[in-house]
Amino acid sequence: MTANRQVGPLLREWRRRRRRSQLDLATEAAVSTRHLSFVETGRSKPSRELLLHLAEHLEVPLRDRNALLLAAGYAPLYPETPLDDPSMDLVRAAIDGILAGHGPYPAVVVDQRWDVISSNEAALAVFTQGVAEHLLEPPLNAIRLGLHPDGLAPRTENFAEFSDHLLIRLRRQVMASGDPGLEALYEEVRRYPGVVEGGVDPSELANLLFVPLRLRDDEGRVLSFFSTLATFGTALDVTLSELTIEAFYPADRDTADALHARSAGR
């Protein structure tokens, strides 16, 4: 009975996080509103299949689907395989190939809390210049690296707009996931000196295609980047589902030329 009382509130929390009414979810998932209400209040125990069905419609992350199953008294369904497990050899090879192939432009792989799992040589060269040693100790966190005063903050020419952009991204992720680790990271970095949250006039960015990262290098040049994010869209393993590849591209010709020249002179 304890498990039944736990799973209902958890499910209700995910429904509210997705801003869905009971009627909305029940209609989309083709279940009765009455039954959904009974599940949420603990008056009815959901079957394993129903719980997974509702979690799919609510886009609950795999790690949290396992938590829902455990709360209802069922065994977890989705494995969490370490990246160094032999079964991940092909995955690691694919990631390494993506990172290497993206050179001479930077690319990193991060987990769900933005801890860096891997990176290519260009990312190490561009994003670790002048960074304090304590920020480079494992686990190296990409958000902390970008916003900490001992990290990239002093070298970021457009720090106000870029920090605002990162905080908006992080806040959305916190709201979508409910991850307490992400929430703690958000509360930490938003208090760093110079970080701006919600203070950038949108009209100032209206003519931009994207919010660039404008980073001054050790030679005094300003390198300008935009980035794309890629995930393993069909992953059924917790570890893989939480990996994101962030690939950085030059936002102007001078940056592209500088990165190619650096690569050629290595």
- Residue 152: HSE in the Cβ half-sphere, 13 Å Cα cutoff: 30
* 252 in the same domain as 171: yes
CATH number at residue 40: 1.10.260.40
- The per-residue pLDDT for 198 is 77
Indicate the pLDDT class of residue 207, thresholds 50, 70 and 90: low
Residues 6+ apart with CB under 8 A from 45: 4, 7, 39, 72, 73
Of 61-65, 201-205, 252-256, the range with the lowest mean pLDDT is 201-205
Compute the 3-state secondary structure of the chain and give helix, strand, coil in percent, each to the nearest 5: 50, 10, 35
Instruction: Establish if 247 belongs to a structural domain.
Output: yes
Task: Indicate the burial class of 20 (C-beta count within 10 angstroms; 0-12, 13-18, 19 or more).
Answer: middle
Query: 29 lies in which domain range?
Result: 2-71
**Confidence band (pLDDT; 50, 70, 90) for 201?**
low
Q: Where does a domain end: 71, 100, 127?
A: 71
Q: Which residues pair with 244 in a beta bridge?
A: 110, 231
The reported pLDDT for the residue numbered 2 is 42
Amino acid symbol at 39? V
State yes or no: pLDDT of 161 exceeds 50: yes
Q: Which two tokens stand for residue 169?
A: 């991204």
Instruction: Tell me 52's DSSP state.
Output: H
Tell me the one-letter amino acid at 227: S
**C-alpha angle 106-110-112 in degrees, rounded to nearest 5:** 150
Final residue belonging to a domain, choices 27, 46, 71: 71
Write down which residue in 71, 102, 126 finishes a domain: 71
Q: How confident is the model at residue 202 (pLDDT cuts 50, 70, 90)?
A: low
What is each CA distance from 173 to 46, 63, 166, 178, 183, in whole angstroms?
A: 28, 15, 11, 8, 9
